[in-house]
Chains A and B, each alone.
Chain A
Amino acid sequence: MLRFLVRRLLQAIPTLLILSILVFAWLRSLPGGPAAALLGDKATPEKIADLNHVLGLDQPIILQYFGFLGRAFTGDFGNSLVSTQPVMGEITTFLPATIELGFTAMIIAIIVGIPAGYLSARYRGGPVDNGVILLSLIGVAVPVFFLGYMMQDLLASPLGLPSQGRQTTGLDATAITNFAILDGIMTSEWDAVWDAIRHLILPAFALATIPLAVITRITRASVLEVLNEDFIRTANSKGLTQQVVRRRHVLRNGLLPVVTTIGLQTGALLGGAVLTERVFNFRGLGFLLAEGIERRDYPRLQALLLFGAVVYVLVNMLVDISYGIIDPRVRVR
């Protein structure tokens, strides 16, 4: 297991290096550039050229890249052009919101998706199955931002839920970890906890739709496959109760691909979070990224894209490890 882990970690280093080159080269190749972004709408081409010189952006790109890499190793990703604050500080400030939102969305996706997929497979062809398939199709097909707007327009007001933000403006809640719910619990500010939960509901459901639909469909397919396996027939013929067969054999074997899917969807959540956080003004990393893209905030984009890549690599490693735990054969190979 240790060798397996070390090997995966070593594999991650070149991946991240290549990614850093790609991210850097991509951002530098975009027209406009940081100087234009810094100077805003009224910048003349001459002023942009001046600022490019001041910022060293007229130097060879290789030199610029090594400068960036050197600073990145010391944790210095520069300052955001939008907020003028250090990007690393921004990431630590905004990360808890994304974790809070992503975690809640994933929990929703798992606790609804697995049973739904399982029931769908068990009652294959029936109305439950058809209903679940239809809903999961809609879940995958409807763009997150559209769904977000629909929820804001149609649900927020009737349900009395806030349609944007993480917290009511002016609510004086103590921030310790920046995890709004956790902070509220730690300081026994129950109003703040309830306020944070209410703010989480709509965005978490919007963000959960795609993973929910995917998990449902994968669970359904996987359970169907397992139900047709010989060992299920054997288990049934041994006279085991249906409950035991389902829990011990069907679910355990059927959940293997689901675990992989959950891992991959956790990575994909970061992408979904960009739109969800933007629509709901939920100030997490996705919000930062969306604002960064819009305002051509290069230092912020560089740091966030690399951060996203690190998270993706880590999540994939965790998936592999959990796979190893569920199915020992993976470790042996």
Chain B
Amino acid sequence: MQQLRLTRTRRVALIGLAGALAVSLSACAESKREEGAGGGTGGTMIFGAAGNPKLFDPAFNDEGETFRITRQIFDTLIQNKPGTADLEPSLAEKWESSNEGKTWTFTLKSGVKFSDGTAMDATAVCANFDRWYNMKGAAAQSQMIYYGDVFEGFAKNEGDAGGDPVYKSCEAKDPTTAVLNLNKAKGAFPAAFTLPSFSIQSPTAIKQYNGDTVTQSGDSFTYSEYANKHPVGTGPFKFESWDQAKGEITLVRNDSSPSPAKLDKLIFKVIPDENARKQALKAGDINGYDYPNPADYGLLRNDGEQVLIRPSFNVLYLGINQSGPNAAKLKDPRVRQALAYGINREQFVKSKLAEGSEVATEFVPKVISGYTDDVTKYPYDQQKAKDLLKAAGAEGMTLKFYYPTEVSRPYMPNPADTFTAISEDLKKIGINIEAHAEPWNGGYKDDVQKFGKQDLHLLGWTGDYNDAGNFVGTFFGREKKEFGFNNAELFSALAAADASPAGDAHAKAYQEVNKKIMDFLPAVPIAYPTPAIVVGPKVKGLVASPLTDERFNTVTVS
């Protein structure tokens, strides 16, 4: 029906336009361009980015569109194996922890140089760790989101940000051995060393172009020349230019990189509108883009494009607030269980999410270490849900269900659809739903996370690195307005898991925590959706990454 309406409207629009356009455009037909093919072996890749990069110093950044670019310019000590969330060597050939996780020794690749010709050795690595730890100024520190999260504090905490720093010191034992000393063990390591924010940058270039200078101007920040024009790393590409007027960031091959690119040139073209990105790919203006609309997968494939499905690295959940308007009822575990049994998640995933998406059985995706199949599950069972509600005396209760508008997240491509499907299920078990729709940036996050006005809400999370703590620790590690519960046992189990050194014991600790969480059921995990990335038929060698960590060094464009 909708298809028919659209077709009619299109026809009307076309008739209206055709007359005016026909005359002036008859001479304009011209074949599609073939620009972009470079002279070298791998050609030029033009990738449609969904947003502007912020700046090119990843230490001051936490945002995907910037990381997409800096990942090509810089290397981290450890990286994710292409296409997975597993770890593999990058600048560090080996790493090991000792002293119960408080000392990390990195054996670096020898003979690596930054693209400015200076040496990437243990001294340079330590200079990076020291730089982050000693960063001065509230403006600069406030922008180091990931450093603040993982290392918990600075040499001198400025602004209101406090914390006890995890970092103690870094020693360059010899050119290829860097030893990192921590004040306490941190479960996030070694996975967190893969974070783009911890990219190893050229200390010389940082100094030359005042990389540490972040100043405040009114209610915004000004970054250094280094961050805007001269980022220097060891990655497969070198920064060449950022043309604001055209919205183009141009990188060229870095021949001195330990993982040199096949492409001669890599251009990121900023096209915020998803439909415009699709059109640009169809027209051959770009060779690929991110976040295609799941509804377009079939059409794109029919056109010969390659839709690469990423393994899921995110989770969508139905939040339950135990201190909200219906606190008394939602504190009763039977009511929360009823909500879980009452939602037909299989059906939802099948009908509303992109191919490859799966029903979530806990709050960490399957590829994360710490995931376990051995948790209490809540398969769809309407009758059981009704019985539980009856036993808890909560039949016919009315819940305030908040959901966001004006947003599409990788874990929630269409919030309104998600809300409708879930609320219909809940109505079927006798719960009355009071819908509250709010714009994502226009009050939703405040009302849900800051004020806790809701009984139920929709949210999710895309992981940053392969550690269960990045998921469950973020959600349930402490008392939060979003969930409104205080479960000391759970909080301490999470803290203990976070502090346990990496390895099997660490994974095991999180498996135990995940069991506890699914018994306590502070929220209902709904799905592990799978975002995709799309590239044209001429592109070879791109490996889709669960962490959106696509590196273009293996890519060629014929």
Choose one: A31, A38, A67, A198; the contact of B446 (CB below 8 Å). A31
Q: Which of A11-19, A122-130, A160-168, A262-270 contacts B (4 or more CB under 8 A)?
A: A160-168
CB pair B273 A279 closer than 8 Å: yes
A116 to B376, CA, bound (A): 72
Q: How far is the CB of A120 from chain B (nearest CB, A)?
A: 14
Decide yes or no: A93 and B219 within 8 Å by CB, A40-B62, A205-B17, A281-B271 being known contacts. Answer: no
Cα distance A39–B17 when bound, in Å?
Answer: 43
- Contact (Cβ within 8 A) A36 B17: no
Closest to A51 in B: B142
Max count, chain B CB within 10 A of own CB: residue among A44, A48, A71, A290: A44
B265 to chain A: closest CB distance in Å? 8
Chain B, range 2-28, C-beta contacts under 8 Å to A: 9-10, 12-14, 16-17, 19-21, 24-25, 28
Q: In angstroms, how far is the closest chain B Cβ from the Cβ of A195? A: 9
Number of interface residues of B (CB under 8 A): 75
Does residue B29 face the partner (Cβ distance < 8 Å to A)?
A: yes
CA–CA, A188 to B310, complex, Å?
Answer: 47
Question: Residues of A contacting B30 with CB < 8 Å?
Answer: 160, 198
Query: A93, B244: Cβ atoms under 8 Å?
Result: yes
Contact B222 A79 (CB under 8 A): yes
Asked if A155 contacts B246 (CB within 8 A), the reply is no
Contact of B244 among A45, A85, A295 (CB under 8 A): A85
User: For the complex, what is the distance from the CA of A32 to the CA of B442, rounded to whole Å?
Assistant: 6
* Interface presence of A246 (CB below 8 A): no
- A152 near B276 with CB under 8 A, answer yes
Whether B110 sits at the interface, judged by CB under 8 Å, is no
Q: Is B391 an interface residue (CB 8 A)?
A: no
**With A42-B145, A50-B160 in contact, is A163–B283 under 8 Å at CB?**
yes
Say which residue of A32, A49, A50, A56 sits within 8 Å of B445 (CB atoms).
Answer: A32
Would you call A175 an interface residue if the criterion is a C-beta within 8 Å of the partner chain's C-beta atoms? yes
Interface status of A193 (Cβ within 8 A of chain B): no
Contact (Cβ within 8 A) B247 A283: yes
Chain A contacts for B44, CB-based, 8 A: 170
State whether the Cβ of B94 lies closer than 8 Å to any Cβ in chain A.
Answer: no
Q: Which of B54, B142, B244 contacts A50 (CB 8 A)?
A: B142
Q: Which one of B9, B12, B219 contacts A299 once the chains associate, using CB atoms below 8 Å?
A: B219
- Does B25 contact A201, Cβ atoms closer than 8 Å? yes
The digit string for A188-213, where 1 denotes a CB below 8 A from any CB of B, is 00000000001001000100000000
Q: With A81-B220, A168-B285 as given contacts, are A154 and B10 in contact (CB-CB < 8 Å)?
A: yes
Are B221 and A79 neighbours in the complex by a CB distance under 8 Å?
Answer: yes
- Interface check A311, CB cutoff 8 A: no
Cα separation A155 to B35 with both chains bound (whole Å): 21
Q: Does B431 make an interface contact (CB < 8 A)?
A: no
Choose among B12, B20, B29 the residue with the greatest number of A CB atoms under 10 Å from its CB.
Answer: B20
Residues of the B chain whose Cβ atoms lie less than 8 Å from the Cβ of A77: 218
Q: CB distance B449 to A44 under 8 Å?
A: yes
Min CB gap A29→B, angstroms: 11
CA distance A172 to B283 in the complex (A): 19
Closest CB-CB distance, A146 to chain B, in whole Å?
7
B481 interface contact, C-beta 8 A: yes
- B55-78 contact mask (Cβ, 8 Å, vs A): 1 or 0: 100000011000000000000000
Taking the closest CB of chain A, its distance from the CB of B151, in whole angstroms, is: 15
Would you give the 0/1 interface string for A102-130, flagging 1 where the beta carbon is closer than 8 Å to chain B?
A: 00000000001000000000000000000
**Docked-complex contact A93 and B14, CB < 8 angstroms:** no
A286 to B21, CA, bound (A): 24
**Given that A83-B244, A142-B16 are contacting pairs, would A163 and B276 also be in contact in the complex, using a CB cutoff of 8 Å?**
yes
Query: Residue on B with the closest CB to A48?
Result: B450
Chain B residues within 8 Å of A178, by CB: 245
Q: Produce 1/0 per residue, B418-445, CB < 8 A to A.
A: 0000000000000000000000011101
Complex formed: what's the CA distance from A296 to B407 in Å? Answer: 13
In the bound complex, do residue A163 and residue B280 qualify as a contact, i.e. CB atoms below 8 Å apart? yes
A54 within 8 A of B: yes
Chain B hits for A254, CB < 8 A:
none
Cα of A156 to Cα of B21 in the assembled complex, Å? 11
Known A82-B52, A299-B219: A142·B13 in contact at CB below 8 Å: yes
A234 at interface by CB-CB < 8 Å: no
Closest to A41 in B: B409
B216 adjacent to chain A (CB < 8 Å): yes
B279 touches A152 (CB 8 A): yes
**Which residue from chain A places its CB closest to the CB of B37 in the assembled complex?**
A170
Q: Which residue of B lies closest to A37 (CB)?
A: B441
- A278's nearest neighbour on chain B, judged by CB, is B273
Q: Is B272 an interface residue (CB 8 A)?
A: yes
A299 & B218 in contact (Cβ 8 Å cutoff): yes
Which B residues lie within 8 Å of A162 (CB)?
Answer: 283, 285
A169 adjacent to B449 (CB under 8 Å): no
Instruction: Using known A-B contacts A31-B442, A76-B217, A80-B220, determine if residue A149 contacts B275 with beta carbons closer than 8 Å.
Output: yes
Q: Map CB proximity to A onto B271-290 as digits: 1 under 8 Å, 0 otherwise.
A: 11101100110110110000
Q: Which residues of B contact A42 (CB under 8 A)?
A: 62, 145
A44 and B479 CA atoms in complex are apart in Å by 13
Docked pose: A278 CA to B139 CA in angstroms = 32
Min distance, Cβ B529 to any Cβ of chain A, angstroms: 15
Cβ of B13 and Cβ of A147 under 8 Å apart?
Answer: yes
Chain A, interface size: which category? Answer: 35 or more
Please tell me if the beta carbons of B159 and A201 are within 8 angstroms of each other in the complex: no
B-chain residues with CB within 8 Å of residue A332 when the two chains form the complex: none
Contact check, A94 vs B245: say whether CB atoms are below 8 A apart: yes
Does chain B have a CB within 8 A of A62?
Answer: no
Check if B17 sits within 8 Å of A150, measured CB to CB. yes
> Does A187 count as interface, using CB distance less than 8 angstroms?
no
**Nearest Cβ in chain A — how far from B196, in angstroms?**
14
The answer to whether B46 has its CB under 8 Å from any CB of chain A is yes
Contact yes or no, A34 B220, CB < 8 A? yes
A32 CB contact (under 8 Å) in B228, B271, B441:
B441
CA distance A50 to B142 in the complex (A): 8
B51 within 8 Å of A by Cβ? yes
Complex: A278 Cα to B216 Cα, angstroms:
30
Is the CB of B36 closer than 8 A to any CB of chain A? yes
Q: Interface 1/0s, chain A 44-60, versus B by CB < 8 A?
A: 11011111011111000
Q: Is the CB of A167 within 8 A of B52?
A: no
CB distance from B69 to the nearest CB of A (A): 13
Is B223 in contact with chain A by the CB < 8 A criterion?
Answer: yes
Chain B minimum-CB-distance residue to A56: B219
For A82, the closest partner residue in chain B by CB is B52
Give the distance in Å from the alpha carbon of A50 to the alpha carbon of B447 in the complex: 18
A68 an interface residue at 8 Å Cβ cutoff? yes
B21 touches A170 (CB 8 A): no
Q: Does A10 contact B (CB under 8 A)?
A: no
Instruction: Find out whether the CB atom of A45 lies under 8 angstroms from the CB atom of B481.
Output: yes
Judge whether B443 and A31 touch: CB under 8 Å: yes
B218 touches A138 (CB 8 A): no
Chain B residues near A175 (CB-CB < 8 A): 245
Indicate if A184 sits at the interface (CB-CB under 8 A): no
B219 touches A57 (CB 8 A): yes
By a CB distance below 8 angstroms, the chain B residues around A154 are: 10, 13-14
Residues 139-174 (chain B) with a chain A CB within 8 angstroms? 139, 142-143, 145, 148, 159-161
Q: Which residues 110-139 of B have a CB within 8 angstroms of A? A: 138-139
Excluding A43-B145, A169-B267, 16 further A-B contacts by CB distance (< 8 Å) are A30-B442, A38-B143, A50-B142, A50-B160, A54-B138, A71-B217, A83-B54, A86-B222, A93-B244, A150-B13, A155-B21, A159-B28, A160-B29, A162-B285, A169-B46, A281-B276
The residues of B with any CB-CB pair to A shorter than 8 Å are: 9-10, 12-14, 16-17, 19-21, 24-25, 28-33, 35-36, 44, 46, 51-52, 54-55, 62-63, 138-139, 142-143, 145, 148, 159-161, 216-223, 227-228, 244-248, 267, 269, 271-273, 275-276, 279-280, 282-283, 285-286, 409, 441-443, 445-447, 449-450, 481
13 sample A-B contacts, Cβ–Cβ < 8 Å, listed by A number: A34-B220, A38-B143, A53-B160, A79-B220, A83-B52, A138-B12, A153-B279, A154-B14, A164-B276, A165-B280, A169-B35, A279-B275, A281-B276
Q: What 6 A-B pairs have minimum CB-CB distances, sorted nearest first?
A: A78-B218, A31-B443, A79-B220, A160-B29, A45-B450, A78-B220
